[in-house]
Amino acid sequence: MKKVLITGPEATGKSKLAQQLAQHFNSEWVEEYARTYLNENGPEYSRSDLDRILHGQLDLIQQAERRQEECLFCDTGPEVIYIWSKHKYGVVSDEIKRASNQILFDKVLLMNIDLPWEDDPLREAPSLDERKIIFNRYVSFLEERGIDYTLISGSGLDRFSSALSVLRC
């Protein structure tokens, strides 16, 4: 099975692209567990909640892996929790560090911050300057670990076409 990670800062179209690709390839996509967790527990969270969110995300990925045979599209992975913990709290738990270094994907699509910000009660970083900082954290995270990624830019169909051009499911 080929696992595709769709990652990047808030409001970059990760969920939409994951759904589009899964539909196109008649496959499954794994939702971002943080949304479920925050919708159930409220938008306020602590650093320790990030470990629970990590476990929820990993559980969703593992469940989908058991059902899917060809291609699986993941709307975020442990790297999102790592980067957010580092950005918001300045530290990352050992559990999150370990998970972000062990989970492997066959293809990584990094979503650019070139879409307009969309308000959402669960989003926290609307300023373009802060979004640039967070985006650069993603680039650094991927490059420091030698993870090959494709930058996905543009709007609407451009993002989808760019993703399709690098995927072979």
Interacting residues of 136 by C-beta distance below 8 A, sequence separation 6+: none
Mean pLDDT of 112-132: 85
* In the predicted structure, residue 169 carries a pLDDT above the cut 80: no
Interacting residues of 14 by C-beta distance below 8 A, sequence separation 6+: 6, 7, 8, 32, 75, 76, 111
Query: Cα Rg for the chain, rounded, in angstroms?
Result: 15
Task: Please write the tens of the pLDDT for every residue from 78-105.
Answer: 999 999 999 999 999 999 999 999 878 9
Q: What's the one-letter identity of residue 14?
A: K
Q: Among the residues of the chain, which ranges form H helices? A: 14-24, 33-41, 47-67, 78-89, 94-102, 128-144, 157-166
What pLDDT shows up at residue 69? 78
Q: Which domains does the chain have, with CATH numbers?
A: 2-166 (3.40.50.300)
Q: Which of 1, 111, 154, 18 shows the shortest CA–CA distance to 67?
A: 1
Q: Residues of the chain with pLDDT > 90: what percent?
A: 85
- In this prediction the pTM is 0.94
- C-alpha distances (whole Å) from 7 to each of 32, 77, 81, 163 are 10, 7, 11, 12
What pLDDT shows up at residue 1? 78
